[in-house]
């Protein structure tokens, strides 16, 4: 079965089509997707589904440009997190919890995302999606009232896809680039607890909850454009450094995002007095600038202050460090080996205390020694998870 797509990667790339397996595991319930919509939807679905398979908990992903902006499993939402996301306490289903946490891992990058959940979309999740700037949802099914509600989003243009949760693709996959066809065995490596049984540092033990978070981070890497490094906390991705040409740039990007996630919950950030006319994305932009106070030019600072009712006191460097160091069991996973200790030095500033990497670098001893200096637990998995 072949269906027409809205266009390819860009509007001028027409015609564009998708060939579906027979029988098809995928149904388009609303809207006309583009090629990028489909690529993101299939990547997001695989990630959400594998989080559920790996942990037994509902999984969710927020995808943008073929990599996850966020991913998470369902866990309760605390008041600090809710306040940092401009959300009120409400009764959310496990599927909704997972998606709120996935999207909240990086709310800037999740703007206009593709959402995926491992569960049936219920009214609770539909209410969350209705108020967010999101382009698409893919899930194994929909409650009737939830589906009807989502069909009204974006004036009827919101993309809704349904996929068979039991569908398994063929063992071999192929792609065509510039007239050349490439084939490979699909990446069916299983990310589970037994992957993290080779600690190489002096400290070797981590809690079951931390292990679960490390699994979430590593599953997310499997569906992220390489090179990639992921920082995760409490069962959710809070910093994804994707598609960089050097490992340390991945680490810096992931840790910078994680720092921002931590600092969004700082009392000074939560106390910002926004102008009442600001919408949530605008409020998020103000917080983002506020956290970079010392780096802003005067025009940038004036623009930030224009969104506030009063001038705030900045968070000092010492206050930032103290706050970040209050978060325990912060995990970092790398999709390949860590080649230099500079990655560990940067991770330490974000209070990372648990690291997973493939190992087998020429400088393994140096990297391990750095982890020992900071009191980290580091695992060698022996598994590379590149994606191109």
Q: Counting beta carbons within 10 angstroms of the beta carbon of residue 182, is it exposed (0 to 12), middle (13 to 18) or buried (19 or more)?
A: exposed
Pairing status of strand 377-380 against strand 352-357: parallel
Q: Of 30, 52, 64, 153, which residue is the catalytic one?
A: 64
If you ran DSSP here, which 8-state letter would residue 78 be given? P
Phi, psi angle pair for 36, to nearest 5°:
-65, -40
Q: Of 65, 130, 203, 268, which residue is the catalytic one?
A: 65
Tell me how far apart the alpha carbons of residues 288 and 265 are, in angstroms, rounded to a whole number: 12
Tell me how far apart the alpha carbons of residues 51 and 161 are, in angstroms, rounded to a whole number: 19
* DSSP secondary structure letters along 163-174: E-TT----SEEE
12 is catalytic: no
Tell me how far apart the alpha carbons of residues 167 and 177 are, in angstroms, rounded to a whole number: 26
249 is catalytic: no
In order of 50, 128, 212, 377, the CA distances from 191 in angstroms are 8, 29, 11, 18
Under 8 Å CB-to-CB from 178, ≥6 apart: which residues? none
Q: Of 12, 185, 310, 388, which residue is the catalytic one?
A: 388
Helix (H) or strand (E) holding 84, with range, is helix 79-84
Q: Of 227, 260, 266, 320, which residue is the catalytic one?
A: 227
Report which of 36, 47, 32 is spatially closest to residue 219, judged by C-alpha positions. Answer: 47
185 is catalytic: no
Report which of 371, 353, 388, 387 is spatially closest to residue 177, judged by C-alpha positions. Answer: 388
What the block records as the tokens of 333 is 């996973």
What the block records as the tokens of 19 is 């060939």
CA angle centred on 292, ends 61 and 282, rounded to 5°? 60
Which residues are known to be catalytic?
64-65, 227, 388
């Amino acid at each position: 079965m072949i269906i027409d797509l809205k266009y390819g990667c860009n509007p001028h790339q027409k015609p564009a089509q998708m060939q579906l397996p027979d029988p098809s595991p995928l149904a388009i319930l609303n809207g006309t997707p583009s090629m990028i919509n489909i690529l993101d939807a299939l990547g997001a679905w695989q990630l959400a589904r594998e989080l559920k398979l790996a942990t037994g908990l509902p999984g969710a992903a927020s995808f943008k440009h073929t990599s996850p902006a966020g991913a998470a499993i369902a866990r309760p939402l605390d008041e600090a997190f809710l306040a940092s996301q401009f959300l009120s306490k409400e009764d959310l289903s496990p599927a909704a919890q997972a998606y709120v946490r996935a999207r909240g891992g990086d709310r800037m990058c999740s703007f206009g995302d593709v959402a995926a959940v491992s569960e049936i979309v219920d009214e609770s999740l539909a209410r969350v999606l209705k108020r967010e700037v999101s382009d698409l949802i893919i899930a194994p099914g929909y409650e009737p009232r939830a589906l009807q509600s989502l069909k009204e989003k974006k004036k009827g243009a919101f993309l809704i896809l349904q996929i068979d949760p039991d569908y398994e693709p063929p063992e071999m996959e192929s792609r065509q680039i510039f007239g050349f066809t490439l084939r490979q065995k699909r990446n069916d490596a299983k990310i589970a607890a037994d992957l993290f049984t080779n600690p190489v540092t002096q400290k070797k033990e981590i809690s079951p909850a931390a292990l679960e978070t490390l699994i979430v981070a590593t599953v997310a890497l499997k569906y992220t454009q390489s090179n990639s490094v992921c920082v995760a906390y409490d069962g959710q991705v809070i910093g994804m450094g994707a598609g960089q040409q050097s490992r340390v740039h991945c680490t810096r990007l992931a840790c910078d995002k994680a720092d921002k996630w931590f600092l969004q919950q700082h009392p000074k950030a939560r106390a910002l007095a926004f102008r009442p006319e600001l919408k949530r994305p605008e409020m998020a932009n103000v917080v983002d600038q506020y956290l970079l106070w010392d780096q802003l030019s005067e025009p940038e600072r004036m623009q930030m202050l224009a969104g506030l009712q009063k001038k705030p006191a900045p968070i000092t460097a010492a206050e930032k460090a103290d706050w970040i160091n209050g978060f325990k069991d912060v995990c970092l996973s790398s999709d390949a080996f860590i080649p230099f200790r500079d990655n560990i030095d940067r991770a330490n500033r974000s209070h990372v205390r648990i690291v997973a990497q493939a190992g087998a670098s020429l400088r393994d001893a140096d990297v391990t020694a750095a982890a020992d200096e900071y009191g980290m637990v580091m695992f060698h998995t022996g598994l590379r998870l590149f994606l191109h």
